[in-house]
A and B are shown apart, each in its own frame.
Chain A
Amino acid sequence: MAGRRRPLTGGAGKGAVTAIPYAWLLLFFLAPFAIVFRISLSEPLIAQPPYSPLFGADGSYQGSFFNYDLVLTDEIYRLAFLGSLEVAASSTLFCLLIGFPMAYGIARADAKWRLVLLLLVVLPFWTSFLLRVYAWIGLLNDTGLINTVLQDIGLIADPIRMMQTQFSVQVGIVYTYLPFMILPLYATLERLDWSLVEAAQDLGCSATKAFWKITVPLSLPGIVAGSMLVFIPAMGEFVIPALLGGPDTLMAGRILWDEFFSNRDWTLASTIAIVLLALLVVPIVIFQAAQQRENR
C-alpha cells in the first residue's frame, strides 16, 4: 500500500470539476441574495423595474432603510414574524413529542421490522406535499370527516371550528415535517450503545431515570438536527398557512407572498426576505454545526 498515488483527476481537471458547480451556485444562489438585499434598500415605484435606483443621476447614494423601518415597526409585520416564530416553535415541539417515541420504537424494533417501519415513515415524503396538506381540508372542515363523525355519534351538536385556525396550520406543519424529525432521531438512536442503559439499570437506576440521564443526552445531536429541520422550513412556510390557515393566520412566508403577488411591492417583499433570513441565521448555524459534528 506504500506506492504514491496520483489524485483522482489531474490539477486542471480538478479545477474544472470544482469550477462548474461552484460557478452555478455563485450565479444562481449567492448573487440573487445580493440583488434581494439591494432591492430591499429601495423604495417602491410605479415603473419598470418597480423600485427606485440605488444611485442618483449624479452618483449619490439614495438607498434607505425605509422598508426595514416599516417591517420592524408596523404591527402587521411584527405579528407575522411573531406568528411564524410561535407556530414554528410549537410545531417543532409537537414533532419531537410524536417523533421521539416513534424513532425510539423503530430503533429498538427487531431488525426485520426496522426497514418496513422506516419505509412507512419515508413513503409519505415521496408523495406530493401539496396534496397531503390538501387532504387535511377534507378532514378538518366544518362539514369535514371529523366533524361529521363526531356529530353522527352524538358527541357534539355543532361542528368544532378547526379549519382556518392556528390549530389547523400547526396540524399541517407537524404532519408534513414529522418524517424530517424522525429520520435524524432514528439515525442517532440506532447507533446508541444500549449497553450503557442496561449498565445503569443493573446498577439500580430506574428506567425513567436511565432514559433522561443516558438516552436523551446521547441522542441530543439527533434532537437538534431534527428540530432545526422542522423549525427552519416552518418559519418560511407559505403553502400550509395559505391552504389551512384563515385570513388572520399571519406568517412571514405568507406576507412575503402577498406583498409580492398581491401588492406588487418588490422592495417590501425583499425586506421581509432579508429579515426572515436574519432570523434563520442562528438556527441554520446550529444545524450545520450539528451536521459537521455528525460527519466527523
Chain B
Amino acid sequence: MSRLSFPVLLAIGFGFAFLYVPIIVLVIYSFNESKLVAVWGGWSLKWYGELFRNEQVLDAAFLSIKVAAVSATGAAFLGTLAGLVLARFGRFRGRSLFSGLVAAPLVMPDVIIGLSLLLLFVSLAGAIGWPASRGADTITIAHITLTLSYVAVIVQSRLAGMDQSMEEAAQDLGCPPVKTFWLITVPMLAPAIVSGWLLAFTLSLDDLVIASFVTGPGATTLPMVVFSKVRLGVSPDINALATIIIVVVAVAVVTAVLISRRAERRSAPD
C-alpha cells in the first residue's frame, strides 16, 4: 500500500472504523452479564440462553428462513429467465417496459412496494377470492417480486461477459438449442444463479417493511420480532442474535470467496 498517501490511508482507516466499530461493540456487549449498556457486568453467555428459550424468536426465525428459502428459489428461477431475456433476446416489442420493470424494484422504496402489494392482495381477494388470507404465502410472493430483479441483474451481467463460443461450437456440431442451453449455458451460469439465490435469501431474511405490510395474523417474521423488541430500546438477547447472524454471515462470505478464488486459480492457465 506504499503508493497511497497518508491522508488517503487515514480516510480508509476512518471509513472502516465507522463500518466496524458498531458491529464489534454489539458483539462484545452480547457477552455482557449486565442488562445496561453502560455497565460492564463481566463475561456471560446468559443472553444466548435466554435467546434460545424464547419461543417467539425461534418460531419467527423458522418462518423467516422458510420464506427466504422458497422466495429465493422462485426469484432465482424468474430472475434467470429475465436476465436471459435482457441479455440474449435482442429487441422485441415491449422490451423497454420489461427492462424498466426489472430495474425498478432495485431502487423503489420498500414502503411503496409494501403498500402497493398489500392493496393488490386486498383487491384480488375482493375480486377473485385469492389470496383468501395473508401470511407466509403473500410474504413469499412479495419477496420474489423484490428479489428477482437482483438475480436478473447478476445473470444478465454474467451472460454479457460470457464467451459464446462454447454455445456456438455445440450448435455447429448439431446440438439443438434447448439442449445447448441446458448442457452449456446453465452450467456456465451456475455461479451467477447461486450468488443471485444467496442475495435473494439474505434480502428476504432482512426485510421488515414489505413483510409488515403484506402479512396477516399469525405470520410474524424474525425482523418483525426484532423491530418490536428494539423499538423500546437496547435488548441484550437481540445483541446475542445479532452476534450469531454476524458470525454465520462472516463465515459464509469468507468461505464463498475462498472457494471461488481457488476455482479461479484452478481454471486459470499457469
Contact = CB atoms under 8 A, between A and B. Distances in A.
Contacts of A101: 7-8, 11-12, 15
Interface string A109-146: 11001010101111110111111101111110101110
B258 to A, nearest CB: 10
Given A24-B145, A145-B37, A148-B38, A135 B242 contact: yes
Interface in B173-214: 177-178, 180-181, 185, 202, 205-206, 208-209, 212-213
A8 B231 contact: no
A72 interface: no
Interface in B6-34: 7-9, 11-12, 14-16, 18-23, 25-26, 29
A235 interface: yes
Contacts of A132: 22-23
A47 interface: no
A9 B242 contact: no
Interface stretch (A59-67, A73-81, A280-288): A280-288
A228 B23 CA distance: 26
Contact of A9 (B102, B178, B212): B178
B106 to A, nearest CB: 9
Given A35-B123, A243-B230, A145 B208 contact: no
Interface in A248-281: 253, 256-257, 260-261, 266, 269-270, 273, 276-277, 280
A102 B15 contact: yes
Interface residues of B, number: 97
A124 B119 CA distance: 33
A284 B177 contact: no
A24 B238 CA distance: 36
Contact of B109 (A30, A135, A237): A237
B259 interface: no
Given A9-B181, A32-B117, A134-B238, A20 B81 contact: yes
Contacts of A128: 205-206, 223, 226, 242, 245
Contact of A36 (B116, B230, B245): B116
Interface in B109-153: 109-112, 115-117, 119-120, 122-123, 126, 141-142, 144-145, 148, 152
Contacts of A203: none
Interface residues of A, number: 96
B265 interface: no
Closest 3 CB pairs of A and B: A236-B109, A101-B11, A32-B116
Interface of A: 1, 3, 5-10, 13-14, 17-18, 20-22, 24-26, 28-33, 35-36, 39, 49, 98-99, 101-102, 104-106, 108-110, 113, 115, 117, 119-124, 126-132, 134-139, 141, 143-145, 148, 175, 178-179, 228-229, 232-233, 235-239, 242-243, 253, 256-257, 260-261, 266, 269-270, 273, 276-277, 280, 284, 287-288, 291, 295
Given A143-B38, A232-B109, 9 more contacts: A13-B178, A31-B120, A126-B202, A126-B249, A127-B250, A135-B25, A135-B242, A145-B38, A273-B115
11 contacts: A6-B177, A8-B167, A13-B177, A25-B148, A98-B11, A127-B246, A128-B206, A131-B245, A145-B38, A243-B230, A273-B111
Interface of B: 1, 3-4, 7-9, 11-12, 14-16, 18-23, 25-26, 29, 36-38, 78-79, 81-82, 84-85, 88-89, 92, 94, 98, 100-105, 107-112, 115-117, 119-120, 122-123, 126, 141-142, 144-145, 148, 152, 160, 167-168, 171-172, 177-178, 180-181, 185, 202, 205-206, 208-209, 212-213, 223, 226-227, 230-231, 233-234, 238-239, 241-242, 245-246, 249-250, 252-254, 257, 261
